[in-house]
Structure 1
Amino acid sequence: MSLLTQSANKPGFFITFEGIDGAGKSTHIQAFADELSQRFPGRQIVLTREPGGTALGEKLREILLHHPMHLETEALLMFAARREHLATVIEPALKDGKIVISDRFTDASFAYQGGGRGLDLAKLYELEVWVQMRMKNEGGVEQRYVLQPDLTFLFDLPSAVAESRRSAAREPDKFEQLNTKFFEKVRQEYLRRAEDDPARFRIIDSNQSKEVIWNSLKEASLSI
């Protein structure tokens, strides 16, 4: 049985791409969406991102990526944008049976605000539960659960390698300007999240050629 038929978010399916800046996830996300469109012609693909994904979220994205602010303000705005994203894009799409692919989700908040910036993880867990707690009925019994992606691809890359890639990219935002030490802490928190939820995560070694990475993605997607 495929993950698609086992999804806790039936009848849709929720996939996220995660990784530190420079890891290469954004290079492959559109091609991956196209691949799934061919494999599942009867399902619409919704490609989105965080922060962003909605009109309000895109305005918050501009503020979050380019304006200095208190760390807790940053985390709260991230989850505010996420709540809007869930309410207006992700959950309606899942209920309609669509496949949602998001460039980042809650794992990024733990990695960047928690691992990188040092915000108490307990505060992030509280926000995660508040924003993502849902109810489902199983066998006539109402159960609470925290909505998570069905599948997360974590593009893992040593922070020093990612830094060299970022330096050759576009004008950096306030996160991309931070040093290798910061991104190594972000990376380690991503890996901790993956270790805590191995059934959800597929780690992609992105310190390889684009062709090898793409083949790894295609192989991992066969479980969908």
Structure 2
Amino acid sequence: MQTTLLLPERPNICIVVEGLDRSGKSTQCQLLVDSLNAQRPESCKLLKFPDRSTTIGKMIHAYLTSEADLDDRAIHLLFSANRWEAESAMRQDIENGITLVLDRYIYSGAAFSIIKGLNPTWCRACDIGLPSPDLVLFLDLSVETAAKRGGFGEERYEKADLQYKVRQAFLEMAKAGGVTWQMFDANTSIDDLASQIESTVKHHCRQVSTNALKSVC
């Protein structure tokens, strides 16, 4: 059973959900958005990155599905550009009191490029100035378990050796500080995980004291 969120009148925060491929991010994002909107209609929006509906997003999709090959730096810049396409709308939504739930964000962009050997500072520089999240929820799942889930291996990065490295890159970013990260065991049931996430979001919303959305720096 999902819990009922008791949010303040102004829960306009930016929440990012990160994790390995097939860790259940999209499912949990949708459950969280549905719960927030059930309590207060049209108070929350879900954004998925990459957004494959844009021109840049279509190029990224072709790369991820191995229909096209691109230089590692070029694809990193495209991922970042895809996020920049949404920048002004994200800020406007936050100013209007909308909570944003992001299915992947700058951390995925950095992690997948860093493990290819790209300079971490360069990887992060592309996203400086983008909206900074208030909270990052990391769904931790063993690579072995992820590999057994349906659809694993359909896209370019869904390879066990890469996922091991990506998980480590995420954990290093979580330790870096600057933004609150909350770790979750994604091996639990969908409903139990959703309840844990909702409890964390409720607690964090109570600590929100300003409408201002910080920028990545």
Instruction: Write the distance in 1 (CA, Å) between the matches of 2:106 and 2:100.
Output: 15
Match of 2:85, SS state, is helix
- In structure 1, what residue type is equivalent to 2:80? F
Structure 1 residue ranges, 4+ long, deviating more than 6 angstroms after superposition: none
| 1:164 matched to 2:144 | no
Which of 139, 146, 149 is the matching residue for 2:133?
Answer: 149
Question: Unaligned regions of 5+ residues in structure 1, if any?
Answer: 133-146
| 1:80 matched to 2:81 | yes
Instruction: Write the distance in 1 (CA, Å) between the matches of 2:93 and 2:106.
Output: 18
Question: Unaligned regions of 5+ residues in structure 2, if any?
Answer: 1-6, 206-217
Match of 1:33, SS state, is helix
Structure number with higher strand proportion:
1
- Following superposition, the deviation at residue 128 of structure 1 comes to 2.3
- Following superposition, the deviation at residue 189 of structure 1 comes to 0.8
User: Of the two structures, which has the highest relative contact order with CA contacts closer than 8 Å and spacing of 6 or more?
Assistant: 2
- Following superposition, the deviation at residue 125 of structure 1 comes to 2.3
**Is contact 1:152-1:202 (8 Å) kept?**
yes
Structure number with higher helix proportion:
1
Percent identity over the alignment is 23
Q: How many positions carry a matched residue from both structures?
A: 195
**Is contact 2:157-2:163 (8 Å) kept?**
no
Q: Provide the aligned C-alpha RMSD in A.
A: 2.3
What is the correspondence of 1:64-213 to structure 2 with a 5 Å cutoff? Answer: 64-66=63-65, 67-87=68-88, 89-115=89-115, 117-129=116-128, 131-132=129-130, 147-165=131-149, 168-169=150-151, 172-176=154-158, 178=159, 180-197=160-177, 199-213=179-193
TM-score, structure 2 normalization: 0.80
Instruction: Write out per-residue CA displacement over residues 103-150 of structure 1, whole angstroms, 9 at most, x where no aligned residue.
Output: 0110101111113x2221011122122x42xxxxxxxxxxxxxx3111
Instruction: Write the distance in 2 (CA, Å) between the matches of 1:196 and 1:85.
Output: 25
Match of 1:222, SS state, is helix
- In structure 2, what residue type is equivalent to 1:151? L
TM-score, structure 1 normalization: 0.78
Instruction: Write the distance in 1 (CA, Å) between the matches of 2:55 and 2:99.
Output: 22
Instruction: Write the distance in 2 (CA, Å) between the matches of 1:198 and 1:216.
Output: 23
